[in-house]
């Protein structure tokens, strides 16, 4: 086979990988559990199976849609950038390969797992057809949107991987572009049932939003033009992203010309990233006291971008509240809880990235072994990393917590009656109490996994699974089990008022177990794990 040889090789390797078999089992099992939980929720209030089938089909479809959206940041954002960091990208072009050959090969290799997962979920989504209320055409349209969204997400991820060298930059850019498509474009497209040809901005937002295609899939008979327009436009954008990625990849390995101009641009970027010579001189006083913290605290652009992102996100939230002041988002207690998710959630993800990137890079380059030959102790190394991350993350997180506390005070002193006594208020308080604790636990777990796994992406994924995903999974499992065991009783033990208490216990147990374990392993086994690559395996 001479047509797309890289695709053939990557497909053979990926199809035989162990994860390709496990992901089908896990995806199908997760879909069955989700369907079972949705069935417990939607079945009692409805008298007919037809209505229950419709209500069961909706959460399964939206859950699969969310998984398709996040596939790009997970699978393709570090495909080409890894070749750049290792210096092997140029070797591929010593043959007669083109940039599109490499891009398609990487895309196929990274998409096998996600495609298998989607194919495993689709049979579970067909179960509501047996209950009624869902036709075969509905399933076909939703499956088409899911496959198209998956293709778009993977294409955006591989484009950002071609543009960036570090996987964190590619991950952030991929998430930002998908955020614009999924949330911002959806909010700008006011009408989800038809195309607004009079307003070009709303028309463009409708065309690029995969959410609008998903919404139109439920009502394709009412708005078939809107459905097909959104599907075709998002599919075309995916191919454009692949074409641009192929063009960039074919030129990314070459050394650019224009050394004089390039040197000037490098100097300008260096001063902008690290500060002026005077600012660097003032910061250099920290080097004798804490050299590790000084090394990580040098880049000032990262701090500016973080504060700018927090301010922009808060301003965007205020704009939403002002625009929809009578909606659920403007209610006092709900606003406090959602602001915590909106602002503290990205900070926690950034904490996982910061905790895993630096140490993993030092382990791979061998700089950590050289550092351990100096008089700096392990505790000083760990303390320096924690101190730098606290300056970067704890201060913005504390500012967000101050905003949340102020919102609670304004809500309690306001004459307007809000949702007092509802679980949102308790969940907001639990989020405020555990926010800084979560960040510190993420820092400990991230540093330990970066030394243990020696790869930043794997350490990042392990940290997110343990601290950010596991508590929510346990809470949902407890809710589902309680609803199943006590479905015929009037008052199950886990009523809504007890959810914040249960949530606090889950978060506390998670932070204590993983945080203390990571702290002990990091302080006691740091030197052993850092030098393990020189030992016989």
List, for residues 88-137, the tens digit of each pLDDT value: 777 777 777 777 878 888 888 888 888 888 888 888 888 888 877 778 88
Q: Which of 187, 111, 184, 100 is nearest to 149 (CA)?
A: 111
Q: Please report the pLDDT score of residue 439 as a whole number.
A: 92
Would you tell me how many other CB atoms lie within 10 Å of the CB of residue 319?
10
User: How many whole angstroms separate alpha carbon 65 and alpha carbon 141?
Assistant: 13
**pLDDT score of 47 more than 70:** no
Q: At what angle do helices 99-125 and 224-252 cross, to 10 degrees?
A: 140
Query: How many angstroms separate the Cα of 491 from the Cα of each of 425, 482, 483, 495?
Result: 21, 10, 10, 7
User: How many whole angstroms separate alpha carbon 231 and alpha carbon 208?
Assistant: 9
Q: Which of 391, 379, 380 is nearest to 351 (CA)?
A: 391
Q: How is residue 130 written in tokens?
A: 């047996």
Write down the pTM of the prediction.
0.74
Domain regions of the chain by residue span:
5-252, 259-289, 296-534
CA 263 from centre of chain: 35
Encode pLDDT of 151-193 as tens digits: 999 999 998 888 888 777 888 888 888 888 887 777 776 555 5
Q: Please report the pLDDT score of residue 185 as a whole number.
A: 79
Residue whose entry in the numeric block shows the structure tokens 């993350």: 393
Query: How many angstroms separate the Cα of 128 from the Cα of each of 29, 33, 44, 48, 55?
Result: 17, 14, 16, 13, 9
First to last CA, the chain: 38
Residue whose entry in the numeric block shows the structure tokens 């808060």: 314
Q: Quickly state the pLDDT bin for 4 (edges 50, 70, 90).
A: low
Percent of the chain residues topping a pLDDT of 70? 75
User: How many whole angstroms separate alpha carbon 328 and alpha carbon 321?
Assistant: 9
Is the model more confident about 313 or about 156?
156
Check the CA dihedral 472-475-476-477 and report its sign.
positive
């Amino acid at each position: 086979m001479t047509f797309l040889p890289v695709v053939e090789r990557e497909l053979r390797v990926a199809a035989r990988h162990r994860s390709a078999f496990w992901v089908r089992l896990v995806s199908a099992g997760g879909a069955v559990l989700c369907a079972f939980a949705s069935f417990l929720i939607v079945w009692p209030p409805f008298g007919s199976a037809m209505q229950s089938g419709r209500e069961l089909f909706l959460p399964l479809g939206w859950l699969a849609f969310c998984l398709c959206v996040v596939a790009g940041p997970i699978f393709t954002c570090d495909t080409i950038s890894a070749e750049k960091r290792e210096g092997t990208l140029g070797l591929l072009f010593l043959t007669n390969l083109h940039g599109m050959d490499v891009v398609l090969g990487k895309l196929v290799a990274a998409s096998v797992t996600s495609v298998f997962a989607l194919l495993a979920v689709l049979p579970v989504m067909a179960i509501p057809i047996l209950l009624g209320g869902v036709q075969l055409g509905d399933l076909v349209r939703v499956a088409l949107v899911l496959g198209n969204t998956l293709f778009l997400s993977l294409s955006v991820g591989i484009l950002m991987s071609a543009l960036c060298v570090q996987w964190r930059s590619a991950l952030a850019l991929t998430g930002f572009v998908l955020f614009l498509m999924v949330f911002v474009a959806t909010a700008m497209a006011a009408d989800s049932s038809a195309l607004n040809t009079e307003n070009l901005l709303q028309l463009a937002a409708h065309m690029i939003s995969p959410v609008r295609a998903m919404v139109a899939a439920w009502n394709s008979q009412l708005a078939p033009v809107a459905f097909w327009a959104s599907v075709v436009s998002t599919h075309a954008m995916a191919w454009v992203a692949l074409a641009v990625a192929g063009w960039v990849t074919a030129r990314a390995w070459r050394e650019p010309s224009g050394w004089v101009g390039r040197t000037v641009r490098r100097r300008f970027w260096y001063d902008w990233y690290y500060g002026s010579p005077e600012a660097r001189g003032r910061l250099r006083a920290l080097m004798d006291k804490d050299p590790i913290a000084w090394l990580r605290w040098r880049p000032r652009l990262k701090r500016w971008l973080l504060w700018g992102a927090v301010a922009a996100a808060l301003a965007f939230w205020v704009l939403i509240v002002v625009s929809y002041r009578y909606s659920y988002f403007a209610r006092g207690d709900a606003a406090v809880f959602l602001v915590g998710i909106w602002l503290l959630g990205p900070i926690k993800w950034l904490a996982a990235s910061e905790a895993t990137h630096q140490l993993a890079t030092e382990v791979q380059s061998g700089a950590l072994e050289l550092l351990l030959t100096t008089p700096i102790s392990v505790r000083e190394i760990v303390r320096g990393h924690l101190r730098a991350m606290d300056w970067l993350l704890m201060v913005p997180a504390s500012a967000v917590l101050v905003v949340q506390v102020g919102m609670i005070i304004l809500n309690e002193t306001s004459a307007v009656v809000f949702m007092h006594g509802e679980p949102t208020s308790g969940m907001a308080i639990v989020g405020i109490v555990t926010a800084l604790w979560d960040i510190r636990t993420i820092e400990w777990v991230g540093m330990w996994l970066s030394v243990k796994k020696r790869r930043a992406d794997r350490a990042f994924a392990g940290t997110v699974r343990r601290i950010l995903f596991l508590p929510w999974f346990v809470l949902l499992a407890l809710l589902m089990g309680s609803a199943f065991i006590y479905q015929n009783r009037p008052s199950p033990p886990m009523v809504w008022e007890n959810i914040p208490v249960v949530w606090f216990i889950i978060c506390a147990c998670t932070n204590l177990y993983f945080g203390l374990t990571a702290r002990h392993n990091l302080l006691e086994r740091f030197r052993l794990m850092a030098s393990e690559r020189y030992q016989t395996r």
